[in-house]
Amino acid sequence: MTASIHDLGTPALLVDVDALDANLDVFSEALPGPRLRPHVKAHKCTALARRQAERGHEGFTCATVREMIGMAEAGLGADLLLANEVVDPVRLRSLAALDARVTVAVDSAETIRAAADAGIREVLVDVNVGLPRCGCPVDRAGPLADLARKSGLVVRGVMGYEGHVVGNDDRAAREAGCEASMQLLLQAHEQVGGDLVSAGGTGTYDCNRWATEIQAGSYALMDTAYTKLGLPLGQALFLWCTVISVSEKFAVADGGLKSLGMDHGNPHLPDGGKLWFCSDEHITFAGDPSKPPVRVGDRLRVVPAHVDPTIAYHDRLHLVSGENVVDIWDVDLRGW
């Protein structure tokens, strides 16, 4: 298909296909084959995941049961990791029934019991390496692995996420924080055993030499939070908006809190202008004084600060080359 971005209803997500492919190529060269386990929570799109698989990345990380099921149904279930704890027996049984290789994260006796009772076969022991989220203390990793094996589960290794350091724009501090976290994970791995040490993200992909696989996701599309790190990646995702109101000092476009992930801050206006604030359905901004005045009906691109929740607000991605829409991909992994 070929259409113009000016024919699209707004707000709409645009994906620059050349920037996307360039980003995928950077990572496939830096982390070939099983060194990268792309995290689909960043894009929630099986069509994009298929492009990643075509570059040799056949194992994927997921954050939700819905993502796991959707990936398996799309024929992308060669090696799926649910990097999240689940105790819901109905959802766990649905994973066990998939025609796919399924591994789930566990960090307690309760999550181990739930996985075993549901018929899950393989697990990773999730270790807290500094981010106050899921994960067991290092000294509990070995006993939990023993319990999992006694419960009939195969323990593939350990996982841990240095999410508290991946966005640090001080390169030296980011590297030091990553190393400190990975030393904790390696201590746990000595107790647990297994082939996998799964960790990392877009911000530490090129300095995490301790993990056997990197769980990066945002690299494919990017956002302002990761752009500030100076990585060799281009911005591929944009929110396409229409100016709906103009005043003497400011203008308003039809984006806002319900179409942009705002937890990492305000979006960016790449074509100039100063963003004032976002409300539910509106982006209020001042136009670039060096350019012609903004008019009602003008279109503008907006760069989100956080790619993952931004995409979760939308039903589809519009792949574009210049001003031409060359394909449309469903965001088919939304929900839980």
**Chain centroid offset of residue 303 CA:** 16
Integer-rounded Cα Rg, in Å, for the chain is 21
Asked if residue 213 and residue 81 are part of one domain, the reply reads yes
Which of 221, 255, 279 finishes a domain? 221
Say if CB 280 and CB 256 are below 8 A apart: yes
Give the residue from 126, 60, 69, 63 showing the smallest Cα distance to 93. 69
Say if CB 215 and CB 83 are below 8 A apart: yes
| Total structural domains within the chain | 2
335 part of a folded domain: no
Tens-level pLDDT at each residue, the chain (336 residues): 569 999 999 999 999 999 999 999 999 999 999 999 999 999 999 999 999 999 999 999 999 999 999 999 999 999 999 999 999 999 999 999 999 999 999 999 999 999 999 999 999 999 999 999 999 999 999 999 999 999 999 999 999 999 999 999 999 999 999 999 999 999 999 999 999 999 999 999 999 999 999 999 999 999 999 999 999 999 999 999 999 999 999 999 999 999 999 999 999 999 889 999 999 999 999 999 999 999 999 999 999 999 999 999 999 999 999 999 999 999 999 998
Domain that holds residue 143: 17-221
Spatial CB neighbours of 112, under 8 Å, sequence gap ≥ 6: 106, 123, 144, 147, 148, 151, 153
227 part of a folded domain: no
59 part of a folded domain: yes
Asked if residue 156 and residue 36 are part of one domain, the reply reads yes
Which of 221, 252, 272 finishes a domain? 221
Q: Say what the pTM is.
A: 0.95
